[in-house]
Every structure is written in structure tokens, then in C-alpha cells.
């Protein structure tokens, strides 16, 4: 990948602390300070913003299968370095990302017994702090098993926390907000509203060969709660000798969380040399009718993935500039209760009424690619066994994207999805796919942790409650505030395959269940929710003759720059994004059940350029409860001096194109 170094500064210094000494690390702008110390053998860190204590003394260390690695430490050598670089992404919310931090590596050495040691590497950015453990190979710490990570995140006061419960199946839960002290165990990222000028998010970054970090807590002291292997081991430290980063994003406003690129910066640079084949695109698919039980994945009279249906979808995609067609239910394995018999899935054998190679050719002739669907039913080993053959086949057929799925909370041999076994599996899929020039859209996957920097063929992940619940949820669908909290929590780790764009709300299979949003809100999701490869999720019939579809056709998925002018977690959010390589801008704004009027200054536009704004907004009487469809489309000339008043109905939204003239 092409990397642009605008300015790189790297320095290394080493110092040794005395037994009683604490060591400090400050962010490049001097605003954040991490202090690391040792007290009675217990190693701790704390974080300050100026004089304000943000994280009070929090313990570091581990319980191992053979002997604790905590409570018996003295501090050893301290090594410092700094970096200031700017790197470019093959796709993303910003084309260029600045990675600017000061780093301090602190050795923690056992005072008695085996005298083992580990290193803790701290980084202070202007927008947060992070640390990770390194386990140098040594006697007594060669291959070992972590039974518990004692890492704490002690909040000095109670804070409101947005989170889903730990071990929510596939993270498909509804985010709720309560004081930390009243929460149960939480999955990350946890977003915290601490006071009027402090918002934070705590999460894994670069989750590699390790188990996922959930959080338990005592009062306001959060603690790492790692997802175990079946036998209770938390992490088997064999080949990979570092933990994921424990990242604490720190901002004055909720918008600062969305603008932070810390999670990406904490991941390694791209490992794919030539990324020219990674070209995410919008897609349609044989999908929504399956969710609504109009069609079936399995064979029979209502089989969705037929050659004829797929051709219709390819023709539609070609007509409307969608580069991909997702096809689910094309392969053998769906005819039994596949959630329990995932071993029956074949990833190479197509059903007789689906002409796999013919359809790939038909699509290619029209400039469209088939997106292959690989549901595993959680039988991940069955998938690994076939993966090489399947991916070779797809590559030879010109398929460039695979959507994977794991509907089963357990994997091979009863291991949990988000355990180290699961995390390793998901990575194996991404790396194998990269060798075969395949992009991955991962459903029921690991919690994203910024690894798309390293593996940009992972273009999107679900790991959230997506639009699909608006088809089959027994409680009516996702709450109207859902998309007002996703960007601040799940979205911090990476692109979301939310599948926006539903325009027809009837539902025969679960009457009354539908998007709890207005139509304009569905359009705004394309800008507010970030993915480089959004789906136009509805059945294609529902897009024909629908003026709102023009926005979906034209909205890009790759951005030069992102701004967040309005943000209140769980209430409303406005994102403004510049299309990559042009002077066109797009605005998406969504609200919860409350109607709002928000003023948007267009002062981000170029001085001296004239623009036309095409505004898709909630029409008269629009209300997600009983009148979701009214939408007004209007055009007006705007420039850098303009201010637009955005009117959002209850559950509503607004989507705007601003085109340079």
C-alpha cells in the first residue's frame, strides 16, 4: 500500500527508575498524562487531563495457571519513544490519518520467586491513551496460560455508560445507558459520558490471537473480563507475545469519539502489498425477502437463490451502478436446521437451480460481481477445512467478496465465538481471503478493533444488531435511537454492515415489525453509519420508481474527510463527509424518537465555489410511529456562508448531497 509520510519523528531514550519512583508520559499536546507506579508490589497506572483525574490508580497484571504475575512487582527499565506520521488508507472515513503519540515502555519485574518480568507499553495520544502488555520469552514465561487479566479502569466518579451486556449473542443487543455502578458485565466498546466536558470509550484495539475483553466492575472500577476457552483458560500465550491494546479514547464531546482514529493507529500498517484489487462497492442482494420469510434459503417452491432471480438482481445492479449482488442460499446445507447442523454446509456445491459459473459470467459481462455467501452455522472447523478450495474457486470465477456468517454462539468443539479460538478463526479467514484477492464482510464476527488498517480486505463486520431485526424481531424492530448510539460504541472499531435503505415497511411474517424510523432516516444512515460497502438492503422492486433511491445510487462510500457537527449519544448525530477525490459533500443526520431542528453551517465548503444542495428531508406530518414515508426533496444553491436548518421528525433524519458546480 502507498504510504505517505508527511513527517516522521522517532526518538528512543532509555532511563531507569528508582524503586519508589513513579514515571510519567504526556501526550504530544501536553493535555493528557499517564502516571505509572508500584505500591506494595502492585503495579498501577493512572490518567490525568490537566489537573482532572480521569482514571484513578488502576492495577496491572495477570493470574496465570502456574503462579500469579501481579502483586510482586518492582519497576525496572523505562524506554521512551515518539512518532508523528501521516499514513493513507485504501478506503476510509478520512483518506489521511495522523498517528502522533509519545510512548513509554515500563518493565515490571517480580521481586521474589521466579523473578519473571513483563513489559507494559503505554502510548499517549492527544485523543486518548492506550497500553498493552508484552511477554518476552524467558524461563518460567515461555508458553503460559492466562487465567485472568487483572487490568483495571478505575473511574474516580460514577459515569453514564452506553453498552450491551457481555456475551450478548453476536453482539446483537440493544445499547442501553445506565450509571456504571448499576451495570452488569459489559461488552466493549463501552462509551462513557462522565461530565459536561468528558466523554470516553474503552475498548480492545488490535485484537489478535487473544480473547475478547469484556468488562466486569466493582462500583465504578471496571476490570478486564476475558472470554474463556471451554476449559476456563482465558488466553494461551504461545506464538503471539503481546496483548491487544487497551484503548481509552478521551474527548470533550461525543463528537470527539467519532473523530478519533486511535483504534486504527493502534493497529499495524497494512500487510497487503498491492491493495488495488480492494474496491468496496454498494450492493443489492437476495436477502431482505429471506429475512421477511417471503423466500427461503433452502430448496423448494420459494427458493430465493435461483438463476432467474439472481439475473434480475444483476440487471438491476448494472442499471443502477451497484457493483455487487449478494446471493444467500445458493449452496448445499440449508435444507435441515442449519443452525445445529452447520457441518452440512458445502461452500463449493451450488443447488441445481443456481448456475454458479454462468451467473458469475453474466454478472461480469455487466460490470457486476457476485458476492458469495458462506453461512457456517458456527461449524467453523468445517469452514476452515473447505476454505482454501472454496476461495480458490471463487477467485477463479471472478467473485471478489465473501460474506461470512456464524449463527451459533458456539464454534467447533464448543468454543465460544469471542474466545481466543474464535478470534484466531476469524483472522484465519481474513488472511486466507487476502491471498485469494477476496474482500470479507463478516457477520456474527469478532468485535472489530481497527484491524482493517492491517487487513483492509475486511471491509465490514456486523457484530451489532443490524437492520435485519426490523424484519424478524418479535418486539417490533430496533428502537429509534439505535443508529444514534451505534457510531459511538460498536462503530469505533470499524465499518458496520448495517444494511440500510429499507423503503417498504409491510411485513406478513411478523406483522407490525418494521424500521422504527422515517424514510429520510433510512437515507441518512448511508452517511451516519460508516461502511465502504453499504448494501441497498430492500427488495429491488421497492426501489423502482422511488425518487428517494436516487440518493442511494449516488451516495459514495469512500471519503476524503469526515466532520461531526452535532452529536449527543443515543439522541442525535450529524456526520458531514467529503467524497474522496471530489469537492462534493454529503450530510446525514438522524434523531431518536424526538423531533429536532439543528442548524448546520456549511463553513466547511470551499471559499469561492458554488454548490447545489439536494436535500432529502422528512416531509409534512412524518413520524416514525404512524407516518414514516413522507419525504420532501428540494434543491437550493448554497455556499460557504450558508446555514441549513435541518428539520428531523420523530425517528427522522435528513440526507443531503452538496455538489460543486
State the nearest-atom distance from the C-beta of 313 to Ca ion, in Å: 21
- 214, 185 Cβ separation under 8 angstroms: yes
Q: Order of strands, edge to edge, in the sheet holding 458-461?
A: 283-286, 324-327, 369-375, 401-405, 439-442, 458-461
State the nearest-atom distance from the C-beta of 184 to ligand NOJ, in Å: 25
Q: How far is CA 492 from CA 82, 194, 283, 323, 464, in A?
A: 24, 18, 23, 26, 12
CA-based nearest residue to 588, from 505, 514, 498, 506: 498
Q: How far is CA 193 from CA 66, 250, 349, in A?
A: 39, 10, 50
Pattern 259-298, ligand NOJ, x by CB under 6 A: -------------------------------x--------
Q: How many Cα atoms within 13 Å fall on the side-chain side of residue 354?
A: 25
State the nearest-atom distance from the C-beta of 373 to ligand NOJ, in Å: 7
Q: Which is nearer to Ca ion, 107 or 443 (CB)?
A: 443
Segment contacting Ca ion (CB under 5 A): 13-21, 442-450, 510-518, 644-652?
Answer: 442-450
State the nearest-atom distance from the C-beta of 328 to ligand NOJ, in Å: 5
Pattern 433-452, ligand NOJ, x by CB under 6 A: ----------x---------
Partner from Ca ion, ligand NOJ, none binding residue 259, C-beta < 5-8 Å depending on class: none
State the nearest-atom distance from the C-beta of 24 to Ca ion, in Å: 45
- 624, 652 Cβ separation under 8 angstroms: yes
- 366, 315 Cβ separation under 8 angstroms: yes
Partner from Ca ion, ligand NOJ, none binding residue 579, C-beta < 5-8 Å depending on class: none
CA-based nearest residue to 72, from 100, 37, 43, 52: 43
Tell me which of 110, 468, 483, 579 is the catalytic residue.
468
State the nearest-atom distance from the C-beta of 393 to Ca ion, in Å: 25
Q: Which is nearer to Ca ion, 510 or 648 (CB)?
A: 510
Q: Which is nearer to ligand NOJ, 286 or 605 (CB)?
A: 286
Q: Which is nearer to ligand NOJ, 194 or 290 (CB)?
A: 290
Segment contacting Ca ion (CB under 5 A): 140-148, 296-304, 440-448, 590-598?
Answer: 440-448
Q: For this structure, is 468 an active site residue?
A: yes
Burial class (CB in 10 A: 0-12, 13-18, 19+), 437: middle
**Phi and psi based region of residue 423 (left: phi greater than 0; alpha: psi -120 to 50; beta: remaining):** alpha
State the nearest-atom distance from the C-beta of 424 to ligand NOJ, in Å: 22
Partner from Ca ion, ligand NOJ, none binding residue 375, C-beta < 5-8 Å depending on class: ligand NOJ
Question: Peptide bond preceding 398: is omega within 30 degrees of 0, i.e. cis?
Answer: no
Distance CA 102, CA 9 (A): 11
CA-based nearest residue to 363, from 328, 415, 326, 333: 326
β-sheet bridge partners, residue 191? 162, 201
Which of 228, 280, 405, 652 binds ligand NOJ (CB under 6 A)? It is: 405
Partner from ligand NOJ, Ca ion, none binding residue 328, C-beta < 5-8 Å depending on class: ligand NOJ
465-484 residues in contact with ligand NOJ (CB under 6 A) are 468
Establish if 409 lies at the interface with ligand NOJ (CB under 6 A). Answer: no
Q: Which is nearer to ligand NOJ, 472 or 629 (CB)?
A: 472
CB environment 473-496: b (16+ within 10 A), e (fewer): beeebbbbbbbbbbbbbbbbbbbb
Q: Other CB atoms closer than 10 Å to residue 157's CB: what's the count? A: 12
What number of chain residues touch Ca ion (CB under 5 A)? 1
CA-based nearest residue to 259, from 48, 376, 98, 73: 98
Which of 23, 407, 593, 633 binds ligand NOJ (CB under 6 A)? It is: 407
Q: Which is nearer to Ca ion, 473 or 583 (CB)?
A: 473
Establish if 375 lies at the interface with ligand NOJ (CB under 6 A). Answer: yes
Where do the DSSP E strands lie in 65-116?
A: 67-69, 73-88, 96-110
Pattern 400-439, Ca ion, x by CB under 5 A: ----------------------------------------
Establish if 415 lies at the interface with ligand NOJ (CB under 6 A). Answer: no
User: In the chain, what is the straight-line distance between the N-terminal and C-terminal CA atoms, in Å?
Assistant: 33
Alpha helices in 497-644 (DSSP H): 519-528, 549-554
Per CB under 6 A, residues contacting ligand NOJ are: 290, 328, 375, 405, 407, 443, 462, 468
- What residues make contact with Ca ion under the rule CB under 5 A? 443
Residues with active-site annotation = 468
Amino acid at each position: 500500500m502507498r504510504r505517505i509520510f508527511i513527517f516522521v519523528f522517532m526518538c528512543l531514550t532509555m532511563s531507569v527508575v528508582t524503586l519508589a519512583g513513579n514515571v510519567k508520559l504526556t501526550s504530544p499536546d501536553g493535555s493528557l498524562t499517564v502516571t505509572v507506579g508500584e505500591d506494595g508490589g502492585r503495579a498501577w497506572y493512572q490518567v490525568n487531563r490537566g489537573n482532572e483525574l480521569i482514571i484513578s490508580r488502576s492495577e496491572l497484571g495477570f493470574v496465570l495457571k502456574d503462579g500469579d504475575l501481579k502483586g510482586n512487582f518492582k519497576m525496572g527499565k523505562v524506554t521512551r519513544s515518539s512518532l508523528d506520521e501521516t499514513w493513507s488508507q485504501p478506503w476510509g472515513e478520512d483518506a489521511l490519518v495522523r498517528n502522533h503519540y509519545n510512548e513509554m515502555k515500563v518493565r515490571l519485574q517480580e521481586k521474589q520467586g521466579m523473578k519473571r518480568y513483563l513489559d507494559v507499553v503505554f502510548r499517549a495520544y492527544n485523543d486518548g491513551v492506550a497500553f498493552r502488555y508484552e511477554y518476552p520469552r524467558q524461563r518460567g514465561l515461555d508458553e503460559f496460560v492466562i487465567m485472568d487479566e487483572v487490568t483495571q479502569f478505575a473511574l474516580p466518579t460514577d459515569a453514564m455508560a452506553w453498552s450491551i451486556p457481555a456475551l450478548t449473542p453476536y453482539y446483537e443487543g440493544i445499547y442501553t445507558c445506565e450509571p456504571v455502578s448499576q451495570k452488569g458485565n459489559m461488552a466493549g466498546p463501552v462509551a462513557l459520558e462522565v461530565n459536561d466536558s468528558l466523554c470516553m470509550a474503552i475498548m480492545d484495539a488490535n485484537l489478535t490471537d487473544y480473547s475478547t475483553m469484556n468488562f466486569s466492575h466493582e462500583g465504578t472500577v471496571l476490570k478486564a473480563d476475558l472470554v474463556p476457552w471451554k476449559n476456563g483458560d482465558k488466553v494461551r500465550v504461545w506464538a503471539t507475545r503481546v496483548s491487544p491494546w487497551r484503548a481509552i479514547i478521551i474527548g470533550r464531546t461525543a463528537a470527539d469519539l467519532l473523530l478519533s482514529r486511535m483504534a486504527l493507529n493502534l493497529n499495524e500498517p497494512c500487510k497487503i502489498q498491492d491493495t488495488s484489487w480492494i474496491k468496496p462497492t454498494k450492493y443489492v442482494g437476495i436477502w431482505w425477502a429471506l429475512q421477511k420469510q417471503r423466500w427461503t434459503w433452502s430448496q423448494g417452491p420459494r427458493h430465493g437463490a435461483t438463476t432467474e432471480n439472481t439475473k434480475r438482481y444483476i440487471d438491476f445492479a448494472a442499471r443502477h451502478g451497484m457493483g455487487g449482488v449478494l446471493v444467500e442460499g445458493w449452496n448445499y446445507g440449508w435444507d435441515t436446521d442449519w443452525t445445529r447442523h452447520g457441518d452440512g454446509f458445502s461452500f463449493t456445491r451450488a443447488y441445481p437451480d443456481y448456475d454458479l459459473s454462468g451467473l458469475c459470467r453474466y454478472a461480469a459481462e455487466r460490470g457486476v460481481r457476485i458476492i458469495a455467501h458462506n453461512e457456517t452455522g458456527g461449524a467453523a472447523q468445517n469452514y476452515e477445512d473447505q476454505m482454501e478450495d472454496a476461495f480458490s474457486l471463487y477467485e477463479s470465477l471472478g467473485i471478489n467478496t465473501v460474506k461470512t456468517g456464524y449463527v451459533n454462539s458456539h464454534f467447533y468443539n464448543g468454543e465460544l465465538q469471542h474466545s481466543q479460538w474464535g478470534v484466531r478463526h476469524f483472522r484465519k479467514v481474513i488472511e486466507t481471503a487476502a491471498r485469494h484477492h477476496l474482500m470479507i464482510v463478516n457477520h456474527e464476527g469478532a468485535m472489530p478493533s481497527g484491524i482493517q488498517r492491517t487487513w483492509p480486505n475486511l471491509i465490514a463486520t456486523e457484530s451489532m444488531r443490524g437492520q435485519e431485526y426490523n424484519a424478524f424481531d418479535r418486539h417490533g424492530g430496533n428502537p429509534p435511537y439505535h443508529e444514534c448510539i451505534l457510531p459511538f460504541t460498536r462503530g469505533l472499531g470499524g465499518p458496520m454492515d448495517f444494511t440500510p435503505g429499507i423503503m417498504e415497511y409491510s411485513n406478513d411474517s411478523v406483522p407490525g415489525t418494521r424500521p422504527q424510523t422515517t424514510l429520510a432516516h433510512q437515507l441518512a444512515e448511508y452517511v451516519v453509519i460508516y461502511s465502504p460497502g453499504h448494501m441497498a438492503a430492500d427488495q429491488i422492486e421497492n426501489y423502482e420508481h422511488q425518487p428517494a433511491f436516487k440518493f442511494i445510487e449516488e451516495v459514495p462510500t469512500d471519503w476524503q474527510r469526515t466532520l461531526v457537527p452535532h452529536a449527543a449519544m443515543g439522541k442525535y448525530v450529524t456526520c458531514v463527509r467529503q467524497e474522496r477525490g471530489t469537492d462534493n459533500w454529503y450530510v446525514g443526520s438522524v434523531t431518536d424518537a424526538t423531533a429536532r431542528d439543528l442548524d448546520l453551517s456549511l463553513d466547511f465548503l470551499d471559499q469561492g465555489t458554488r454548490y447545489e444542495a439536494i436535500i432529502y428531508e422528512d416531509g409534512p406530518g412524518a413520524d416514525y410511529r404512524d407516518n414514516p414515508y413522507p419525504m420532501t426533496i428540494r434543491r437550493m444553491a448554497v455556499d460557504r456562508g450558508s446555514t441549513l436548518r435541518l428539520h428531523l421528525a420523530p425517528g427522522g433524519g435528513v440526507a443531503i448531497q452538496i455538489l460543486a458546480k
